[in-house]
Amino acid sequence: MAQTIFVPKEVDLNEPRVAASPDTVKRLAALGFDVIVETGAGLNSRIIDAEFTAAGAKIGKVSDAGKADVVLKVRRPSDAELKGYKAGAAVLAIMDPYGNDAAVAALAKAGVTAFSMEFMPRITRAQSMDVLSSQANLAGYQAVIDGAAEYDRALPMMMTAAGTVPAAKIFVMGVGVAGLQAIATARRLGGIVTATDVRPAAKEQVASLGAKFLAVEDEEFKAAETAGGYAKEMSKEYQAKQAALTAEHIAKQDIVITTALIPGRPAPKLVSAAMVASMKAGSVIVDLAVERGGNVEGAVPGKVVTTANGVKIVGHLNVPGRVAASASLLYAKNLFAFLETMVDKGTKQLAINREDDLVKATMLTDGGKVVHPNFANAAPAQSEPAAKATRTAEAKSEAAPKKAAAKKPAAKKPATVKPIVPGK
C-alpha cells in the first residue's frame, strides 16, 4: 500500500513559500507515494492547484494531514497543526529550534519524527539538500534588489551627454552564501563592491567575484572558521579592531548589506549607531540578520526605518519569501533530495536509517523524545500523575529483587583475587 505525503498551506501569513513543486510532486509519485497538497498551498508561490494535479497530486484539505506518513512544510508546525498529525509521521521543515524549547517539546509530545532541515551538514553528499544555502542565495540577491529600490538612484556608472552618473559604492558585510550572491548581484548591476568577513577563505572568494576585500588579518582571523564552514564568534578585541577598520569605510558607502549570522547565537552587531550617523543622507543599509537581533543598531524587524540623518535601514523579514516563486522551487528540491535517501527503493516505503549521518544531524524528535543532543533540555515534562506512576513502578521493580534476595540463602563469599599489574 502506498504511503501518503501531505503538503499543507503555511499557516503563517508572512510565509508565502510552499514545500513542494509540480516537479517534486512527479518525483515523489515516482518513488511510490500518494501526494496530497492542501488547496491553495502554492498560490503565493505562483503555483496553482491545477499544476499540482497535472503532476499527479490530489488537492485536499487540512484534515488530510491526519493520514499522512510524511508532512513536508516550510515552517515548523504550530501546536494546532500538530494535533492533526498522526504519531510516527515524519515531518520535514525549517524547525528554527534555538530558543524555542517549548515548541521542540511539543513536537516530541505529538510523537512525530521531526527533521530540522537547517541542520543539514555541509558535506558533498548533502549539497542538494542544503536549505540554508538555497534560501540564503536568494536572500543575498534580494538584499541588493531591496537596497537598490530604497536607494532610488542608478547603480552603474553612466556617461551621458548631460553628465556622468557615478557608480554606487556597495559594501557587503559577511561573505557566506548570501554575501557572495549579494556581491555577484551588485557587480552585475554595476556597483563598486567591497566586502568583509572574519573567515580567511572569504578573501579569495571575494576577489574571484571582482570585489575588494577588507578585514583585520591577524592570528585570530586566520583561525576564524569552523569545521562546518561557518564563521566563529570573534573576541571582543577583534570585533573592536574590525569595527575601527570598517567605520571609516562605511561612511563613504551608498549601500551596506549585512549578512552575518552564527547558528544558535544572536546576530553579532557590526554597524553601530555612530557608523549609521556617519553615512550621508540617502544611503541605505539592508540587515539580513534582523530576525536574529540584527547586525545593525537601529534596525527594526519588518520595517524600513529612516534615521535622523536620512539613512534608510531595511529590516524586511523572511527575505527569501520575497522571491517565493523561486525560493519554493529550490526548497522543494532540497526536501525531495533528502526524503529520497530515506525511501527503500524495493518496497517503496519510508525506511529511516537512524545511523545515517544526515539523519543523525537533522533528526530533532523521534518516538516521543527529543533526540538531538543540542536540545536535550527541551524534553517534554511528564505530568505529575504520570511521574508519580513512574516512580511507583520504579519502586516496585527495585523492591522485587530485594524480596527475592531475602528468600535465598546467602552466597559464599568468593575468594579474593589480586589484580595482575604489568611489569610486576
Element (H, E) at 158: strand 158-160
Task: Single out the catalytic residue among 21, 116, 133, 135.
Answer: 133
Judge contact between 221 and 198, C-beta under 8 A: yes
Q: What is the DSSP letter of 176?
A: S
Quote the cell numbers at residue 167: 557608480
Query: CB count, 10 Å around CB of 40?
Result: 12
133 flagged as catalytic: yes
Number of residues that this document lists for the chain: 424
* CA neighbours closer than 13 Å in the CB half-sphere of residue 135: 23
Q: What are the cell numbers at 199?
A: 573567515
- List beta partners, residue 160: 163
- Report the distance separating Cα 259 and Cα 317, nearest Å: 13
Q: How far apart are the first and last CA of the chain?
A: 68
In the set 78, 127, 235, 382, the catalytic residue is 127
Contact 21, 43 (CB under 8 A): no
For the question of residue 230 being annotated catalytic, the response is yes
- Among the options 96, 98, 101, 230, which is catalytic? 230
Asked if 109 and 95 touch (Cβ cutoff 8 Å), the reply is no
> Is 130 an active-site residue?
yes
CA distance 21 to 380: 34
CA distance 18 to 45: 7
E strands of 289-401, at which residues? 304-306, 312-314, 343-344, 349-350, 363-366, 369-370
| Residue in 27, 45, 76, 130 annotated catalytic | 130
For residue 213, count CB atoms less than 10 angstroms from its CB and return exposed for 0-12, middle for 13-18, buried for 19 or more: middle
**Cβ-contact 99, 33 below 8 angstroms:** no
Which runs of consecutive H residues, i.e. helices, occur in 229-278? 236-250, 273-278
- What cell was used for 152? 532610488
* Residues labelled catalytic: 122, 127, 130, 133, 230
